[in-house]
Each structure stands twice: as structure tokens, then as C-alpha cells.
Structure 1
């Protein structure tokens, strides 16, 4: 059985907190007066401090404490969320991440410098008393006990603290929480032991107690809530103001304090003569009036109708990525076994056996879809990382840049998202460094000072399209052409369309930058971008309008694990085409085959489509089938026909990577295992379409 290290759990949760903190800080630059953002940053730091200390990350907890104290002053209105403080907090967040992964230490000179700068920012407000913080619900702390202000009149609060039963097992120390309450002012703590079982049934890891606290403090309600900020979501906490003087009856006070239930008070009162009977017997009120009053009381005390309970939030659990990968591998093996079963049953006439086989096939298909859905991650998790990148680059390069995003809910396989980070980082850096002009240059060109970079994602069939668009100077086609000729990529007198010319920027060492900067310009990276995207079975397209914009579009498969494919035969070999790329299948008769010799294109309803004879492409020695088929495949606006001997049918394809020995074979993107144990290669449609288009261009020239 796999054991989970609590420290690893904290590391995973800390990464989420770092992302949350960074997004809040970046938003704070534009909205420094937004107290909700300040509260988000404060809570993230408070949680990092508390849980870091709990799991032994003392250096992280100590450093987070200093930053938390600064944002506590911002929260109370003593300190402003200035750009200097935000920039300092972003740098401190990076140091906290370094303390978490071990790449930084508490005595680093950089850490000491950060603390000194933080003290300089906080120093002017050190001797001022913070005013009252607003409550989270938008109301002040004006209650029956009066306003609770720092240094003002004390208020009395009644707290009921009920931690979850597994609080001790998860590392929560209730005594530390109660000690923090005592630091706020005089308080009385009453432990309720009613739920403690007998010794034989006692579980030392289970928390049976709950506490009632009466606290007198000059601090605001928000400071009381902050004591429980780390465990607030899992506990029941009640905080109520108490009037300094009360004229309530004893029974009402006991009920409010929880010392006795309303039913208990009524039971005690029931032993006395009922007030209604006393009034009727004394002639003070008619019996009907008492009966009506009792009916009204019964309606008022009636419980709410069933089904009106507040809905609880959707529950979720954190699962290791390794477990998801292992689950996907098992599902893949199950799909292969199901294909084997389907092939075996095909030769039998046993109807019940075929029915069971079809039911298993349906269930496995649903299991496959469910498992793949678990692996799907919203691309927002990737897009959110670029806000910090754009923020830092714009300051380093002296440019004003606005980053916008759309389609953040688009989901993509987690493996694809993990491998997309570096290519996207490189393209965003290029867009800002080379694409966007300096503010003065933009103004001279009639553009706004602030440049725009837009990231978008959308579904297109079984693919996801990711675009990086900027409103900068665009690509210089003539300069690219000159560099391509210089590098020997094209002939000096060749006529190359812009779409093909723009693809030259992905050649190794290719760059049109006038000068090399610390960000880019050496011609290293774009070739890596293309190789990475192609390794994900994707493609890259570039479109640009000189002086206006550049758009780079990545076309990627939804998943790298299992796809729906079309199984075909060429000679004695079997191959798989991704079903998402298949448009249609047509028959190629021997007469039509003879007519097309030397022309390499077909007339598909008035459109001339170039085609490849896969028999010739794979050098198959067997004679062609009498009725060959043409599978029309597409990639964007480009189409090509693939001539095969037989279309076998659809096939759930579990993708297996090729070995390193076959890494340079560009016609195949992987392999799969068939039901009979044989291997079928998965054709790389993009590469085949490229070959078909090249041959079509050669035909047109000749």
C-alpha cells in the first residue's frame, strides 16, 4: 500500500497557494484598493505560515510571517498596497517557493535584502494603530456589544469551536488555537466533554471535545476569524457578539449559550401551571384567544420542509499524477484485450456471447472516456502562469503590455499541458520582445502606447487550437526571404507563398532580429518549439499582417493516450489513421487508377485533391487489390487522398511510442497493438499531407 508523505501533501497545496497569491498580487497592481484581493493574499500567506510550521518548514513559515504582517497592515488600512509593496511581495513569493523546493535558504543575502526592503516599506506606519477592519460580509462590527476597534472599547464575543473529528490526525493542535484566542484578550474557555466515550471505545486519534469561549477584546471580529483561517473550511465555528448588559430572561440566555435546549426550558416550564390555563381560569382572556395563540406558536416552531437544506459544495480529492498515468495504462491494456475478445467472438454464432461482448465493449468505452476526462485539465492552469511573465518582461523591456485570455475553460490532456509550457513561454517572450514596438514607436504609428498579447484556446473536433496573437509590427516577409536565401533554405529566384515563408522561422538558428537581447534574438528556440509541438502530434501555423499583428496557432490533439482510429491495409501491413483527420472514403477502380497515372490527383466532387499511393510510398511488393480505396484526410484547409488496399474499420487505438531507433521516421507518429497481437503503425497525417502538397506543387510547375 502506498503511503503519502505529509510533507509532499503540503508541497502540493503550497503550489496552489503560490498561484493564488501571485494572481492576487498581479490583480492588486490594477486594483490596489480592492480589499478582497488583499484578503486573498493575506489568507494565502497565513495558511503558508501555519501549515509550513506544522510540517516542519520553519524557514518558510518565518519568512511568510513577515510578509503576512505587512499585508495585515494593508488589510487594516494602515499601509497602502503600493506598486513597491506588490513588486516586493512577488519577489518574496519567489523566495518562498525556493524555500519550499530547497533552491533557497533562510540566510541567503537575497532573503536578507528582501526583509530589509520590507522593513523600509512598513517602517513609516510602524507606530500607527490600525483602524477597524471591515467584516467579510460587508457589515461593520457594530453589534449589541458595540464596535470593536483596536485601542477602543472592549467588546464581548461568544465562540463555539467545533473542530472535525480527525483534526488531531491531520496535525491540528487545538491548544495552539485557544492560546491565540487568549492573546487577543481575557477569555474563559469551557471544554465540553459530553461526547467522550468510555475507555474501551476511546480512539486517541479522534477529537471528542468541543469548546465554548467567552472573549473580551478590543480587536475586531476579523482578527478572531483569522485565528481559525487554516482550519475554517473543515470546522463549525460560531462567533456572536454579547451585550454588556442584558435584560433577557434566564432561559433565553441559557438557550443562546447552548447550556440547555429550548425544549429543556419548555419542559421545565411545563411543570408549572400553563399561562393559558391561568389566564382563562382567571377570566382575563377567552379560551378561543388562547387556542389561536397556541396554533400560531405551533406554526412558528414547525421545522422547515424537507429538501430545503443548503446544498453542499462539490467534493474533490487530490490524486497523484502517477496514479492517473497507471490507471490510463490499465485502461489501455483493457481496450487491447477487448479488441482481442471482439475479434474472437466475430467468428462465433453464439448470440448470448456476442451480447455480453457488446456490453463489455460499451462499458470499456465509457471507462475510457471517464478516465480520459479525469486526465483533462482546464488550460486556465497554463494561461495563468503567463501573467507574471508578461508583468516582468514589460518592466525589463520598458514596454507597456496588456495580456488578455479567452477559452480558459478549454480542457486538454494533462501531459500535453505539461509539455506546452516551454513552447508557449518562448513564443510569448518573442511576441513581447520582437513583435510589440516600444511605446513611442507605437504612438508614432497611430497605435495605443500599450501593446496587447492575447492567448486563446478552443476546441475544433478532436483537436485544441491555441493561439498567441499580438498587435505589434508583424513579420517582415522580405527579411525572412532574404535570411532564408542566406541560409540556403530556398533559392534566390524561387516564388514561395507567405504561409510557407513564415514557416522558415522554425528552422534551426534562423532569426531576423536586428540585435540580440537578454530575452531572444539568437535564433535558438523556435526550432525547439516546432519539434515539441510535432512530438505532441500537433502542428504550428503562422499568419501575419505587416505592421498590424502576428498570430501563431498551435493545433494539438486532445489526448496522447487513446484515440479513435481508422484501420487500413496496404499490402500485408496494417496502419491506423486518426479518425479525427478522416473526411471520407471513396473507391478507386482500376479504370480510374489507370486514368490518374502521372497526374496524382483525384476529382472529388469538383475539387482536385492530390493523393499518395501508399503501396508505392511503403514499397509494398504485393499486387494491388482489384478495388482500392482512397481515404481523404485533412489538416486545416489542406487535403490529400491516401490510396490503400482495404479499409478494415474503426479501431480504438492505444498509442504506443516508437523506439529511439525509429525517432527519425517522420511518416509515423506511433504504433498500436491489434486484437490479434499484431502491431499497426499510426500514420502521421500532417507529414503525409505535406508530402502530397509538395508533389502537387511539383506537378503544377512541370
Structure 2
């Protein structure tokens, strides 16, 4: 097997995965909003491009399957077959089958699909062909003969393909062949001037240029759109030759006017502006490597800054400060490369909501807010599966069936909200449903039965709701393939904890449930605030720091040996790091309180010294320190010493538990 061919297949899969996701997004939008030209054309273009790129690689079984789907889509977009709910479901199934076929290509490039895959393809092809041969949903209200005047224009298209056209999975014939559907090709001339001598030819480059004469009833913009996929780097011009000639006699055609019933359709043909953005596709590992290198540069730069300060060389300190500012800009720009809008992940859940709701006989609308909120790609990849489980849980356990909702005076369609927003240096993701909510009494009873709660204790509502995050805990009366096996929610909690995040559950019986996940924006580099307790350096995430105050003698006297202070009329609980972690206190240092905030909660942390802001490269603690749960990582200072990065969420939870025990006592 040619290694270059394998490398090209990687690009083929990446490109087609993206096209298939666009196809699914467009189909889901049609399902929600009804037919419009923009979305059905997006579906058609995706199928057309996949067929073309598969043909270039000689993957005949994908070409054959996609060709039939493309034919149906062409009929739909030309309003010859009406879109319906049944067809949407069929096209979604075809999209899934295309993904299976593409995945098979990657696993066995020279092989052929097994009988199960072939059988599924054949079944779907038969269903597609049935819609092409005859459409039962077509309802003719009236048949009227009308005369339409079609104006045929003459165009000359000049196209110089970019040299990297082939590497993007395109072949020039596909685009020229597509012009046959837009008009009649009268003449094609090949421009050979850009083709180098034989010894200089790179077989992976495209050197093709064409001049094509076309007669068509379409306007020049529609003809130019046929080359949308290769516009970047290519040169396309469409000249209307008819403007300089006498207009030909219009051609008379007779058609039948039809009024078509489309199931659930809400026509939306308002044109939308398309944002033109240039992208470059690179491997994620290269970005990760860049971030790691910048992290090492940050550590090395801190060491240089330390030496410059020790030498007290003002010119050197100024030069190092300039480099530091530039390094901060490089770091911020590099981090932005890895930050992606979470909406791209949220949009994929539309299909999951659609399929899950259909499977359990429910109607559910998904509403997405904050899709433009950016998060580290690494974090998004690791949170996708937990979110899928939470969404399925909301539909299966939370939202009621239409008849039950109607009996309770609710809309028969349940609503699932997926929200994202930034909050104190973290990102909050909310999954909110308007279903039956959690029954605290049932949960408490189950918790006592399983020995998770002492029968004599008086747990808070939060503690009762948190029971569903325990391993093996389930209130489902029957097991389904969606949920109810007592596994999953504990895995969700563990995955979120591994990302140094947290999960909160709020619910009201008969009203609904809200699950909030809080995650760090990135796992690589953060802005921190360096402090010192005794000889131990501790870093506080800067985004969670509210203010710093001195703990003077007057304030200490007002505390009366309690672990809180009155901060401008508000009670602020305190945690003395030296006392709690048994770190020897520095007698010469003055105590300071760092006020931090996370998820609406505030607390004060008592430290000895405040050393200022610091770019912090997050290093994992290692397996030896896995039980050290109060710290999310470590970093290396310019002096070579190690500083611990405090996990604010865990510290707040610990403080809350400590306060509860004090109240009970």
C-alpha cells in the first residue's frame, strides 16, 4: 500500500467527516424550521462532494450509494419531490451509512464491506429508489397548463484550479460534470500553459485550467457557485456573452403547476449572508506540541527574570520584561488556536435528542444558548460523552410522555435547554429540562436502603440529589438500552472530576431538573497569583481572585477565635492554610486574606505572603500525589522551586462540609 495514498486518505476522512456533520446539521434544521433552499443545497453539496472525492480514490461502493442519495436530493432541491418527515429520517440514516462506509475505508483501504454493511446499503438504496420512482406524499390540487418564457444566456467560464486541489479530495472532472446539470456545455478548451515540463511535474499537484462555453437559463452567480468548494486558491470568472449579443428568442415550455403538501413544512427562503473565512487544517498534535513548547518557554523565561532581578541590572530587567510581554502575546494567541466554540459540540446533540426522543415516544425541543462560548478543544473532547449521557437521562428519566404532560397541563412537547457561559475563570454548562423533576423522598429512601445515608441523619436536599452520582444508584423500575442499569452517572462525575471540574444538581418536583457542570477553560497555561505559606509556594487561579486584604490585629480581635470575618457586612468563612495543612507558619510575615469566588460562593484563604501575578504552566501532580485532591497541579518557578496550584472548587466544598459539621456540633 502506497504511504502517500494512506496520508491522502487521512485528509479524505477529515474532509468527509466535516461534510457529513454539515449534512446532519442542515437536515436537523430542516426538521425544525422547514424547507429552505440554503439548507437543502448544503445537504446536496455535501453528498455531491463525498461522491466526487470517493470517485477520485476509486471507492466505488461509496460512489454507488451516494449517487442514489444525490439523485433524490437533486429532485427535492428542484421541487420535483416534496420533503417530508419520512424522507428526513431516511436521509439521516443514509448519512450514518456514509459514515460507516468511510470508516470502513480507513480500516481496510483495499478491502470490500462485509455482508452486513452491504445489506444495509442495499436496503437504503431500495428506499431511496422507491421515493425516486413514485412519491405517495405528492398531492395534486390542480393541473393547469401555463406558458413560461425561459431565457437562455451564453456564458464563458474561465477556471484556473489551485495547485492543492487534489490534496483536498477534489477532481476537476466532478465540477465540469456538475455544469451539465446547470446548462448545456458547448465547448471546452484546456489551457496547457501552466503545465511544467515533465521532469518538474509533481503528480499530487493540479495544473489544470479550462475555458468552458455554456448555454444556461441560470444566472452567472449560480454558475460560479458550482466551484464554491475550490474558490480558495483558484481563480474563477464567469462572463455573460449574451450582454454583447442580441438576445435569442425565448424558448417556450409547458409545465404543470402543482401545489405540494409537505409534512410539517414551514417555508423559510430568506437569504442569509455567508461569512467568508479562510481556514487551514492542521493536526491537533502539532498544536499540542506548540502549547507544550510555549509552556517550557514560560518556565525558562521565569528563570531568566529571576536572575535579572538578582543581578539588579536595570537594562537587563527592561529587556527581559519586553520579551515577557511578547511571550504573553504568543501564549495567548497559541491558546486561542486550541479554543473552539462549544456550539459545534452542542449542535451534534440535536441528532441525539431527535433519535432518543423518537425511541422513547416523546417530543422534545432542544434550545441552545451560549454556543459561541469558547473552551479548550481538549476539554471539549473529554466532556462530550458525559454530556451525551446527561442529555439522554433528561429525555428518558426527566421529560414525560405527551399524554402524561397533557394530563398535568403541560405542553405535550418537552423542552431541553443547553446553556454555556463563562463564570469566574471557568465555563459553566447547564442541562435544564422541564420534566417531572427528582423526588427527594424516593431518592432518600433508596439511599437508606443501599446504605449510602444513615437513617438517623438529616441530609440536605443537595446531598440527597447527589445520591444519583453514586456508583450503582438507580431508581429506574425497568432497564432500557438508554438508561436504568445503575451505571453512567458515577462515570460522568468521575470524568468531570478528572478535568478538575464539578457537577451540581438542582430540581423541583413536577417542574424539572437543572444539572450544572463547571470546568476549567484550559488544562495547559493559566494566569495565577503566587502566594507563600511558610516555605511553601501556592498559586491561586487569578480569574477566581476577588481581592486581597491584610489580616491585622484589629480584624483578628473581632474574629473571637472563629473561622470567619465580617467583610463589609458580609460573613466570609476563612481557611488558614498553615493550620489546615500543618505547614510551619512564618513568624516574620504578616498574614493576608485572599478572597476567592467560584460558582457564586466566596471564602477567604489565609496566607503569609503575596508575591504577585504569574503565568502558570500546569503540570500534572503524578500518580504518587493522586490523593492530594486539594491541588489541581503544580508548576516550576523561576527559582527552580515547585509551586502547588490550588483547586478552588474542592477547597470550597471542603469549607462547606466543615461549616456543616460545626453547626451539627
Fold agreement, TM-score > 0.5: yes
Query: Would the alpha carbon gap of residues 173 and 684 (structure 1) be closer, same or farther in structure 2, given more than 3 Å must change?
Result: closer
Residue 188 of structure 1 corresponds to which residue in structure 2? 187
Partner of 1:82: 84
Q: CA deviation at 1:141?
A: 11
- 2:618 corresponding residue in structure 1: 655
- Secondary structure of residue in 2 paired with 1:547: coil
Given the superposition, is the C-alpha separation of residues 23 and 341 from structure 1 closer, same or farther in structure 2, using an over 3 Å criterion? same
Residues 202 and 699 (structure 1), Cα distance of their counterparts in 2 relative to 1, 3 Å cut: closer
* 1:160 equivalent among 158, 161, 166: 158
Any idea what SS the aligned residue of 1:523 has? Answer: coil
* Secondary structure of 1:665's aligned partner: coil
Closer/same/farther in 2, CA of residues 517 and 594 from structure 1, 3 Å limit: same
- 1:110: Cα distance to partner? 4.6
Aligned equivalent of 1:499:
462
Bigger drift between 405-414 and 578-587 goes to 578-587
User: What's 1:585 paired with?
Assistant: 548
Q: 1:609 aligns with which of 567, 572, 584?
A: 572
Structure number with greater Rg is: 1
2:16 to 14, 17, 23: 14
Provide the rounded CA distance (Å) in 1 between the counterparts of 2:322 and 2:185. Answer: 69
- Match for residue 281 of structure 2? 318
Q: Distance in 1 between matches of 2:204 and 2:376?
A: 39
Which stretch of the first structure deviates more once superposed, 508-517 or 535-544? 508-517
Q: Using a 3 Å threshold, how does the CA distance of structure 1 residues 360 and 442 change in structure 2: closer, same or farther?
A: same
2: distance between equivalents of 1:185 and 1:179? 11
Secondary structure of the residue aligned to 1:642 is: strand
TM-score scaled by length of structure 1? 0.80
Q: Which moved more, 1:505-514 or 1:179-188?
A: 179-188
Structure 2, unaligned runs of 5 or more: 136-146, 248-273
Is the contact made by 1:181 and 1:187 (CA closer than 8 Å) also made in structure 2?
no
1:561 matched to 2:560? The reply is no
Q: What does 1:533-682 correspond to in 2, within 5 Å?
A: 533-589=496-552, 596=559, 599-621=562-584, 624-625=587-588, 627-682=590-645
Is 2:40–2:77's contact at 8 Å kept on the other side of the alignment?
A: yes
Match of 2:253 in 1: none
Question: d(CA) in 2 for partners of 1:124 and 1:198?
Answer: 51
Q: Is the 8 A contact 1:402 1:453 kept in 2?
A: yes
What is the 5 A alignment of 1:35-184?
Answer: 35-102=37-104, 106-123=113-130, 125-126=132-133, 144-145=151-152, 158-167=156-165, 173-174=171-172
Report the more deviating stretch, 602-611 or 313-322: 602-611
CA distance in structure 1 between the partners assigned to 2:509 and 2:329 by the alignment: 49
Offset at 1:181?
Answer: 6.2
For residues 634-657 of structure 1, the C-alpha deviation after alignment (integer angstroms, 9 at most, x for no partner) is: 322322222222222222111011
Shift of 1:439: 0.6
> In the superposition, relative to structure 1, how do residues 579 and 174 fare at CA in structure 2: closer, same or farther (>3 Å)?
closer
Shift of 1:422: 0.8
C-alpha displacement at 1:681, in angstroms?
1.4
SS of 1:81 mapped into structure 2: coil
Q: In 2 relative to 1, CA 38–612 (structure 1 residues): closer, same or farther, beyond 3 Å?
A: same
Q: Pick from 524, 530, 534: which aligns with 2:493?
A: 530
CA–CA separation in structure 1 for the residues paired with 2:10 and 2:285: 14
> What CA deviation, in whole Å up to 9, does each residue of 1:249-286 have, x standing for no partner?
xxxxxxxxxxxxxxxxxxxxxxxxxxxxxxxxxxxxxx
- Return closer, same or farther for 1:683/1:113 CA change in 2, 3 Å cut-off: closer
User: Is the partner of 2:496 in helix, strand or coil?
Assistant: helix
1:639-698: CA deviations, max 9, x gaps? Answer: 222222222222211101121222222111111111111111112212222222222222
Write the distance in 1 (CA, Å) between the matches of 2:240 and 2:577.
81
Q: Secondary structure at the match of 1:408?
A: coil
Cα 1:340/1:418, change in 2 over 3 Å: same
Alignment of 1:362-441 (within 5 A): 362-441=325-404
Q: 1:224 to 1:423 in 2, by over 3 A?
A: same
| Contact 1:589-1:626 within 8 A present in 2 as well | no
**RMSD over aligned Cα atoms:** 3.6
| Equivalent residues, number | 622
Going from structure 1 to structure 2, the CA distance change for 1:699 and 1:64 (only over 3 Å counts) comes to same
> Are the equivalent residues in 1 in contact too, given 2:424–2:597 (CA < 8 A)?
no
TM superposition shift of 1:323: 0.8
**2:11 and 2:169 in contact (8 A); partners too:** no
**What are the ranges of 5 or more consecutive residues in structure 1 without an aligned counterpart?**
129-139, 147-155, 249-310
For the residue of structure 2 that corresponds to 1:384, the secondary structure is helix
Q: 1:690 to 1:313 in 2, by over 3 A?
A: closer
Contact kept, 8 Å, 2:53 with 2:170, in 1: the verdict is: no
SS at 2:327 equivalent? helix
